[in-house]
Amino acid sequence: MEQELKRKTMVIGHRNPDTDSICSAICYANLKRALTGDEYVPARAGHVNGETQFVLNYFGLEEPKLVEDVRTQVKDIEIRKTKGVADNISLKKAWKIMQENNVVTIPSVRPDGTLEGLITVGDITKTYMNIYDSSILSKANTQYSNIIETLEADLLVGDADVYFDKGKVLIAAANPDLMEFYIEPHDLVILGNRYESQLCAIEMGAACIIVCEGAGVSMTIKKIAQDRGCTVIATTYDTYTAARLINQSMPISYFMTREHLITFNSDDYTDEIREVMASKRHRDFPILDKEGRYLGMISRRNLLGARGKQVILVDHNEKNQAVAGIESAEIQEIIDHHRLGTVQTMSPVFFRNQPLGCTATIIYQMYQESGVKIDKAIAGLLCSAIVSDTLLFRSPTCTPVDEMAARALAKMAGLDIEKYAMEMFGAGSDLKDKSDEEIFYQDFKRFTAGKVLIGVGQITSLNGEELQHLRGRMIAFMDKAHEGSGLDMTFFMLTNILTESTDLICQGQGAVQLAAKAFHLDIEEAKDQEEPVLNLPGVVSRKKQLIPELMLAEQD
């Protein structure tokens, strides 16, 4: 049977996530769960910054799971849940399991769940076609319980848990005088109802006699067999059928493949394993978890119907800001407040895009529209996101709707919004323990302006001295980082929340000139500055003030 997957949907923001991206993912996943009862999981496409960590800690919530690639993985598709078996089951039982489950391969699994080996139809076939050794049953260390099960027999004397591990298998077709010449100690003898033959086999030291055709076994024979340590098994099959079937009692452990197994991990990406599967002739491949425990089997057919991960995007709609592998995912919804970008979908999706200062404001509206109650923690997250994105209503992106939503949410969460905002911003601007790289990329986005690829990072702070100190570090870092970035121009905004101004560091050929042109500054004077930094009074928003102006200037 194929595993029925209850598909979950991931709610995720952009790379280098900010507070809005993280909080919106958590809150929208919570809303969708409440409305549908289905599994919606918040995720993040990058590391949590100091400001966001402060928010999560304040409301006692864990950061969402880090997801760096949303390509389809083995765990996302339906796999065949062929049950693992012990390595001591008989070939007959293995064959029966294969027939019942319509499979050609079954896995042998240890008690701890790890994979021991594989037995295939081909392995079982070889036991019939290639085996001419009469000692094969003992070499395979066959348990008497397997023989009893295979021959549908009864144990008259002996212990079913004991193993037949010495001697050969033979049929006692001759009279007792001849039997003495070919029966050796430890042999297993298949015979009929003749008392003399049974007695002779026991006296010659046979380890086991199998009495066929439902023939009776006298008390005397049983007593002698018990005294001599000879196992006695009785079956209704005739000697020919018993001899033909007995090899099926051998354990699969003797024939299965244990080494050089081709296995896949549940976290493997399907586009990577597809090539491996195509190069091998096997029909089924085992799937293991991170600890090596067996989960199921996968075939090429499973890959044919593989579907992408179900994803909802929040706080972005551009491919170059989205988590890696987004082109192979099934995008279900997009909730955003930015300009329309380059994300393409395979089918129509629910897309809500509003000219507001924060995605969390839109999600707050959706809570209200659906009548879902907002608890204290969710209210706190939504409020924090709005305060962060609007710089406590100072940003030009902020609308009356954003401020109204934030103040209503602050009341629900029991926050003094002004005091809380200062604590939150202070946590976000605490950069003393961070490397230049961490600071630069903690809030970094890529944009396309015509044929020019631009990257813009931003730090907001209440501390002007800290920003001034950071200025030199970022200039030095950007000089090296820009070379291998693949970007035409790189900018970094040092934004002072209190003075509502930004020092813009420019890197890349023509970057200073473009920024000067965008903000109507003297281009020649800007080029001649000792440092590639422009002071932009009143500019605090990357989305609404910086990017639009740069794009307009690039097009002119």
Q: The domain spanning residue 171 has which CATH number? A: 3.40.1390.20
- Report yes or no on 196 lying in a domain: yes
Residue 131: what pLDDT?
A: 64
- CA–CA dist 293, 298 (Å, integer): 15
- Our CA angle for 115, 119, 122, nearest 5°, is 155
Q: Are 224 and 231 in contact (CB under 8 A)?
A: no
Domain match, 52 and 82 both: no
Q: Give me the CATH number covering residue 353.
A: 3.90.1640.10
Residue 134 lies in a domain: no
Give the range of the structural domain holding residue 285, as residue numbers without chain letter: 76-128+254-304
Task: Match 């609007």 to its residue by tokens.
Answer: 390
Q: Is the same domain home to 103 and 148? A: no
The answer to whether the CB of 207 falls within 8 A of the CB of 125 is: no
Whole-angstrom Cα Rg for the chain: 37
Look up tokens 């880090």; give the residue.
66
List the CATH number of the domain containing 459. 3.10.310.20
Q: Which 3 state secondary structure label does DSSP give 258?
A: coil
Task: Round to whole Å and give the CA distance between 384 and 408.
Answer: 12
Q: DSSP state, 87?
A: T
Tell me: do 299 and 243 sit in the same domain. Answer: no
Q: Is residue 136 part of a domain?
A: no
- Paired tokens of 267: 């976290």
Residue 2 inside a domain? The answer is: no
pLDDT mean over 196-205: 92
> Does the pLDDT value for residue 1 go beyond 80?
no
Domain closes at, from 219, 234, 249 = 249
Lowest-confidence segment of 70-79, 340-349, 425-434, 501-510 by average pLDDT: 425-434
Read off the pLDDT of each residue in 417-438 and give the average, rounded to a whole number.
85
pLDDT at 554: 85
Note the pLDDT tens digit of each residue in 395-408: 888 999 999 999 99
pLDDT band at residue 4 under the 50/70/90 scheme: very low
Residue 231, pLDDT score: 96
What residues pair up with 142 in beta bridges, in sequence order? 164
498: which residues sit within 8 A by CB, 6+ positions away?
Answer: 462, 464
Average the pLDDT over 91-95 and give the result: 94
CATH of the domain at 98: 3.10.580.10
- Tell me how far apart the alpha carbons of residues 556 and 546 are, in angstroms, rounded to a whole number: 16
Q: Could you read off the pLDDT of 28-86 as tens digits, one per residue? A: 999 999 999 999 999 999 999 889 999 999 999 999 999 999 999 888 888 888 899 99
- Evaluate whether 409 touches 386 at the Cβ level (below 8 Å): yes
Average pLDDT over the chain reads 91
Residue 330: strand pairing partners: 310
How far apart CA 225 and CA 473 sit, in angstroms, is 92
**Strand-pair partners of 447:** 454
345 falls within a domain: yes
What's the rounded mean pLDDT across residues 109-115?
Answer: 93
Residues 331 and 423 in one domain: yes
Domain boundary among 428, 452, 474: 428
Domain assignment of residue 133, yes or no: no
Q: Which helix (H) or strand (E) holds 446?
A: strand 444-449
User: Do 261 and 116 reside in the same domain of the chain?
Assistant: yes
Q: Is 205 left (phi over 0), alpha (psi -120 to 50) or beta?
A: left
Sign of CA dihedral 334, 335, 336, 340: positive
Tokens, residue 328: 């192979």
pLDDT at 493: 96
Mean pLDDT of 248-270: 92
**Helical ranges in 130-269 per DSSP H:** 136-139, 144-150, 176-182, 195-203, 219-228, 239-245
In a domain? residue 3: no
| 160/231 Cα distance (integer angstroms) | 9
Q: Are residues 121 and 259 in the same domain?
A: yes
Tell which residue, 452, 514, 465, has the closest CA to residue 494.
465
Q: Which residues of 284-297 are buried (b: 16+ CB within 10 A; e: fewer)?
A: bbbbbeeeebbbbb
If asked whether residues 207 and 154 sit together in one domain, one would say yes
Both tokens of 160, joined, read 């079913």
Q: Please give the Cα distance from 467 to 427 (Å, whole number).
A: 14
Q: Determine which of 13-17, 74-78, 227-231, 311-315 has the lowest per-residue pLDDT on average.
A: 74-78
Q: Which of 286-290, 299-303, 443-447, 534-538 has the lowest mean pLDDT?
A: 299-303
pLDDT tens column, 258-268: 988 899 999 99
Determine the average pLDDT of the residues in 439-457: 87
The reply to whether 206 and 266 lie within a common domain is no
Tell me: do 320 and 423 sit in the same domain.
yes
- 263 lies in the same domain as 231: no
Q: What percent of the chain has pLDDT over 70?
A: 98
Is 390 inside any structural domain?
yes
Query: Which of 233, 249, 265 represents a domain boundary (last residue)?
Result: 249
Distances in Å between the Cα of 536 and the Cα atoms of 30, 448, 460, 551 are 39, 22, 14, 17
Burial (CB count within 10 angstroms: exposed 0-12, middle 13-18, buried 19+), residue 433: exposed
The pLDDT score that the predictor gives to residue 3 is: 41
Enclosing H/E stretch for 523: helix 523-527
Q: Which pLDDT does position 130 carry in this prediction? A: 60
Classify burial at 326, counting beta carbons within 10 Å of its beta carbon; exposed 0-12, middle 13-18, buried 19 or more.
buried
Residue 487 has pLDDT above 80, yes or no: yes
For residue 58, which of 394, 388, 441 has the smallest C-alpha distance? 388
Q: Are residues 241 and 259 in the same domain?
A: no
Beta bridge partner(s), residue 312? 11, 333
Neighbour tally for 350: CB within 10 Å: 10
Query: Is pLDDT of 174 > 80?
Result: no
Residue 529 confidence (pLDDT) = 86
Residue 205 DSSP code: T
* Element spanning 332, H or E: strand 330-336
Q: How many structural domains are present in the chain?
A: 4
Q: State phi, psi for 190 to the nearest 5 degrees.
A: -100, 125
Q: Determine the distance from the C-alpha atom of residue 247 to the mean position of all C-alpha atoms in its chain, rounded to a whole number.
A: 42
Specify the pLDDT at position 2: 39
Percent of the chain with pLDDT over 90: 66
- Please identify which residue in the block is written with the tokens 């629910």: 350
Specify whether 478 is located in the same domain as 519: yes
Does residue 342 surpass a pLDDT of 60? Answer: yes
